[in-house]
Amino acid sequence: MKGNLNMSLRPIIKRPASRTRWQKLERVAVVAVTAVIGAACGTTTSISKGQQVRPADLIYTFNKGDGTVSVIDPSTATVKVVQNLPFPAYGLYPSNQYGLGSGYLLVPEPGKVVVLKDQNLKAAATINMAAAKGIWAAIMPNGKTGLLVGRSTDQISWVNMNPASREFGVVTRSVTVPNKAGLCDVSLSPSGQYAYIPDLLTNQIQVVDTTTGDTVYQASVPGLVKPFMGTVSWNGKIWAVESAAGNGSVFYFDLSNPTQPKLIKSVTQLNGLGLGAHTDEFSPNSRYDFVLDRTSSQVSVVDTTTFNVVHTITLPVGGLPRVAAFSYNGNKLFVSLEGVNSVADINTKTFALTSIIKVGTDPVGIAPTDYSWVHNG
């Protein structure tokens, strides 16, 4: 149906002092006053002070062609709501949005970045990036700071995302990386201290200390040509970098020393990889890496204990897989299929394609409502 997304205010989440990265944990919501939580986008449930609730598990698909967001309920694999956006829908990569669960998303648009409130999909702030062609955005694990990377400007900017601050949505500092590197994509370490960035124009990779803004590592890697996307595993031990070499390949780096990435293996078609590797998402326990092969319209599943392709998930012909996001329990992976205006629902336990969900036209971005399970506490 088409209408307004009614989710009301998110309750304050009280997390335990420590926990493992992927733990089936019911979160406790401590609510100071009676609130109304939108459940499954349409029904509402009143809760009283101290009552334990769980925020909705939803998947947002951003449809560039018609400027809408399709809101998917992972439990039923159905579109519950279609919401119009006040700006053109564009690319959104969940691997960069570490702070999901903070209540906000960073949505790159041509010439700007929109701070989007995930409860009602309304713009809370807009950041001017007119000089940048190609923008990637990341949210720190604490949810209070955003990191913006501009390819044409080679600039990294820090954004205040604390809604209680007067500087909310404001760029607080910026640094420019020398040598016209062509910064392309960004992924964070679990602590948020390090940002891992492929350098498209210099065929290099680099590591930036987010506390100082200094580049602490920058180097070429034999065979790495035009690196354009990268994802750090949730346990922080592996960095996968997509390369345009050949018909597309993925270079895996060991991050045991977070400031000195060490090449483990490059995975190509000789290892069973599909054609046109575009991006990837690590499973919540970091055991598997799901690589989206855009040209061959499939997902290659790489076992990170051997770095071999162990499963191939065939998608609809011409699907052009673009981005992917996990459900909260990690049992499902939702892959946007830009070429057929759909989202693939994949069972991450059996690696089976469960269903195809029709969404709006040209789905280029995807995000879950909450990735707070990746936090340590």
- Summarize pLDDT for 229-284 with one digit per residue, the tens: 999 999 999 999 999 988 999 999 999 999 999 999 999 999 999 999 999 999 98
The per-residue pLDDT for 31 is 24
Residue 48's closest CA among 32, 64, 61? 32
CB atoms within 10 A of CB 220: 12
**Residue 295: which H helix or E strand, with range?**
none
Cβ pair 211, 192 in contact under 8 A: no
Q: How confident is the model at residue 27 (pLDDT cuts 50, 70, 90)?
A: very low
Residue of higher predicted confidence among 85 and 343: 343
Cβ pair 113, 123 in contact under 8 A: no
Residue 275's closest CA among 292, 250, 296? 296
The per-residue pLDDT for 193 is 95
Residue showing tokens 């919401």: 83
Name the residue ranges covered by the structural domains of the chain. Answer: 56-374
**Residue 15: which H helix or E strand, with range?**
none
Mean pLDDT along residues 196-201: 95
Lowest mean pLDDT among 72-76, 138-142, 312-316: 138-142
Give the number of residues written for the chain. Answer: 377
Q: How confident is the model at residue 176 (pLDDT cuts 50, 70, 90)?
A: very high
Q: How confident is the model at residue 142 (pLDDT cuts 50, 70, 90)?
A: confident
Cβ pair 284, 270 in contact under 8 A: no
Pairing of strands 194-199, 187-188: antiparallel
Q: How confident is the model at residue 300 (pLDDT cuts 50, 70, 90)?
A: very high
Bridge partners (DSSP) listed for residue 333: 326, 346
Q: Degrees (nearest 5) of the Cα angle 141, 77, 23?
A: 35
3-class DSSP state of 118: coil
DSSP state of 94: G
Lowest mean pLDDT among 2-16, 168-182, 346-360: 2-16
Please tell me the class of the 56-374 domain.
Answer: mainly beta
30 pLDDT above the threshold of 60: no
pTM for this predicted structure: 0.85
